[in-house]
Homo-oligomer: A and B are copies of this chain.
Amino acid sequence: MASIKEIAKLAGISMGTASFVLNGKGDQMRISKATQEKVLAAAKELGYRPNISARRLRSEGEKVVPVIAILWTLDTRVSLISRFLEGIQGTFAGQGDGFELMVQPYENSKLDKLNSLITGTRFNGAIVANASDEDIAYLENNEINVPIVLYQRKSDKYSTVSVDSYQSGVMVADLFANRGHKTSGIILPNVSSQAVRLRKEGFMDRAHSYGLQVPSNHIVSGSFSEEGGYQCVKELISKGELPSSLFTLSDQMAVGALTALYEEGIRVPQDVEIMGHDNNENTKFTIPSLSTIHLPVEEMAAACVNMLMDLIEQKVKAPVSKLFNSSFVIRQSCGGVCEDN
C-alpha cells in the first residue's frame, strides 16, 4: 500500500506538502496549483488510500473511546440484529460517545477465521452472538485476549448474558399441558445453537413428565425464516395427522407456519394452537396474532454493552454472567381471546 512518503517521492515534493494536498487543505495552505496536481496524479497512480490507523493515532489525542464489536453471523439470523441494535441505541442514546460500535459480520462456525479476536487489532472488546457449537468449542479451547461477552450462550470461561432457554421450553410444555393438549409438535430452526437445543430439551423433558405426546414425526426442522416455517408445516401435514399444539422455536418461522396452516384450511387456534418464540414486533400483527415467548433482546443488548465496558475497563473480572427472564405474551394463536370459536 502506497504511503504518503511514496507519493511525495514520486511527485518530487515533501511529505508535509503531500499531506496538505491530500487532505483538501491545498488551497488553504496556498500550495501552488501545479504542485497540487502533481500530488493528486501521484496519489492516483499509486492508488493511494490513507492508513486509518496512522491517521487516528496521530490525530485523536484525548478522547480515545473503546471500540466495541458486535460479532454477528451473516446467515438468515441477520434479521434479528435490528432489535439488538435498537436496544443499544435506546439505552445509550444521548449519553455522548462512551464507546464506538462496530458490527463485525462473521461466517457461522468460522469464528476461528476472525483473527482480530486474537490479535486485538480491531476492537477493545466483542459481543459474540449466534455462536455455533464449533464456535464455542473454538473459544473454549483457545486463549482469547480480547474481552468478550457471549450473547445467549453458556460458558464457564467467558462472561455471558442470556435467558434460561431450557426454562422457556418448560414453560411452553406447561402451558400446553394446562390447556389440555395431549399431542404436540415442534418446529425447529436448523442452526447449531445452544439456545435452540435447550428450548427443545426443556420442552421435551417437561412434556414427557406430563404425558404430553411429542412423537418424532411431529418434530421437524427448516431454515431460520418464514419460508422455513412454511415448509415445516407442509412437511408435518404430509406426514399425516397434526398435533393439537405446536411450539415454533422462532417467531420468524411461526409466521410462515401460520400461512401454511391457513392455506390448508387448518384453523388457528381452533384446530391447532401455536406458540412462537422471541416476541418480534410483527407477531402482534399476524392473523391470528401470535402467542409467543418474550425474549428481552433489547435489555440483553444493553446488558452486553454494559458488561463488556466493565470488562474492558477492568472494573470486573471475567467470567461474569447475567440471566434475564423470559415471559409469555398471550395472543390469539394460543390461549388468548379469539372472536370466532
Contacts and interface: CB of A to CB of B under 8 A. Distances in A.
Interface stretch (A5-13, A102-110, A129-137): A102-110
A255 B103 CA distance: 28
A281 B225 contact: yes
A196 interface: no
B121 A56 contact: yes
Copies of this protein, total:
2
A164 to B, nearest CB: 27
Contacts of A255: 282, 285
Q: How large is the interface on A (under 10, 10 to 19, 20 to 34, 35 or more residues)?
A: 35 or more
A105 B79 contact: no
Nearest to A45: B314
A145 interface: yes
A240 interface: no
Interface string A145-172: 1000000000000000000000000000
A26 to B, nearest CB: 12
A258 B287 contact: yes
A314 B55 contact: no
Given A105-B101, A284-B226, A74 B86 contact: yes
Contacts of A89: 74, 78, 105
B49 A145 contact: no
A66 to B, nearest CB: 6
Interface stretch (A29-37, A57-65, A181-189): A57-65
Nearest to A24: B145
A48 interface: yes
Contact of A226 (B105, B262, B285): B285
A297 to B, nearest CB: 12
Contact of A81 (B44, B81, B124): B81
A78 B82 contact: yes
A293 to B, nearest CB: 19
Interface string A76-114: 001101100110010001000000111111010000000
Interface string A209-229: 000000000000000011100
A230 interface: yes
A120 B57 contact: no
13 contacts: A24-B143, A51-B64, A52-B67, A52-B121, A60-B121, A74-B86, A81-B81, A102-B103, A102-B104, A226-B285, A230-B285, A259-B287, A286-B287
Given A24-B145, A282-B282, 11 more contacts: A23-B120, A23-B145, A24-B143, A43-B314, A78-B85, A78-B86, A81-B82, A102-B104, A252-B282, A256-B285, A287-B287
Interface of A: 1, 23-24, 43-44, 47-57, 59-60, 62, 64, 66-67, 74, 78-79, 81-82, 85-86, 89, 93, 100-105, 107, 119-124, 143, 145, 225-227, 230, 252, 255-256, 258-259, 262, 281-282, 284-287, 289, 312-314
